[in-house]
A and B are shown apart, each in its own frame.
Chain A
């Protein structure tokens, strides 16, 4: 075992031990505890849990690589703004009101505010979106285990599943929330330490957010020398328009993702829900303002090595080549094609190497020449990010099935104990399905995760906002809006996605140059339009429902909401 593996093992065993202990200490015995942690999580802890829930394997492992390599700098900002800007919408438009309504799940709100048809559409959306998302997390767990501990992806996924199974089934939302608080601490420390160390090493500033301003000029010089486009140059024309669409889709999608929205139900009250949103965006911003610095420093280091002709001599280079995440341009072995005695990483002709987006963060401590314990810590951080998001998603699946389908539709008389058993069983089944999909990912999994945001924006966001802010928004309107938003967004994906990744994708040219990942925003506009128009022509909600919607606008105890909670309205 190498030094790095020993340290990785130490950190992984240590952190997993903490998660298991915390989960055991916060095990639950009622449905309120299982679904919403009894609604008793203090705001800072809830904010940290939201942040860990939100920041997935994609944020931790992939995002910096996406910015530096796939988008070559500026264009990747769509992800930075998109995955944070949605919290402003959540905090201002959804969180306080949904918390006041006081339900367990998003389909619960949709079902009570509109009708049973809308509830079922919402259940299907919630399960599909969450399941596609969780596959990516399981795959992320596999990558970390595979590279750092040299176990196979299957074994890695199985270890991850066993841990999640233990604390999610035992503790439900309460166990998940307190574990996520620990996971946030692990992942943020793991992300910040290497970034601060590298910034201090290369620039005069230990604060990477300021330090990376000092290398931008040199980075631009290296970029142009090696044939890459300018790193900081803004996009124009259709590139700019598509960046807007992608950013907007990610923002509205964030505000429509069930596993994010449901977190605000765990707050103590309306005021705590607002504060939870504030803590969440603060904790998320710590990582999201650091990610572009990790991207810039890593790119700078790699280009510097490439220019000096020493890229392939780096110890990290061979390790990642061994697991197939660094390859030659044809996807095979790395070859010195032009025979100049060095491996060249270049932006144009003469490039000899492909570097996978996912390795940038995991390799950045090694790229920056930091000691082995830090490398091990980053591996534990990547696992924390993947596991915390996976558990949040699994809870959405389990609660949608147990609460919205079993309790509300199949057996309304079910005892508390019975409901809890069903919730635990569906959680266990969800973990097994997610694990199976993680080991055998469908060919189109990568794209589907990116598209989950489009589907969430086009289905949930408009009907939630209108359901709160427009008393006369009708059930027929919401059902039609959700159906149309989902249908045109899904249809556009089928139309444009490359036909080789799944038999039902057609691979046609985009309409008006609109990239499929940004289409969710257009689906969302269609949903808004349809919901509003259909609501004008259909039976208005009952007086009581209109009064109930009015009441969720005001914090504090109000009569109708209280009666509704007891099932009297």
Chain B
């Protein structure tokens, strides 16, 4: 095993994590450790295994091999328990278009086990904080991209999860909305929420405290944005990314 032994309180901890689909190796022997309270970026070209990794950690997919612990619990044996303590937001948002903003939020909050006065209070706070109070009665399907994204985040965090997984949360959202979104992310991190985010936007990658680069299922770089750029001898993360993609395509051709 490479690197220092992980902290006992790590939010995510994988050893030799592997996922294959038939002959395709989507994620290969991934060792990753994310300390609690960190905003951690998972980067890599399309098909590098980012989404598969997140899906294994959230219990959406069974790993083919290796172990993974999320918030201290094993994904093989404690998947249901993990689900109560994490939040997940996918590229597709997972909102019900035919429910209103308030109903979507209430549904997810209740599914996460909130009820009674606690639920009412939490939802009110949440809606205010995210600026949704006036849109309570609006159908989720009629919201713009940025608002949908914010609502999806609200639904994924209504139960105040310890750990939040964001799979390309800002794809197809305008810059202003992206900025607001990141402000919320930082606020969550300040409260101690660990955040694992995948992204294609380099400015977003640079906002992360630590980064992991995946290429064809392999972890090829790990560290702070500065460390990673130095490791590849590039000027910034974007150049690292392009360099990686070039190498990837070189291998394939």
Judge: A and B partners, yes or no. no
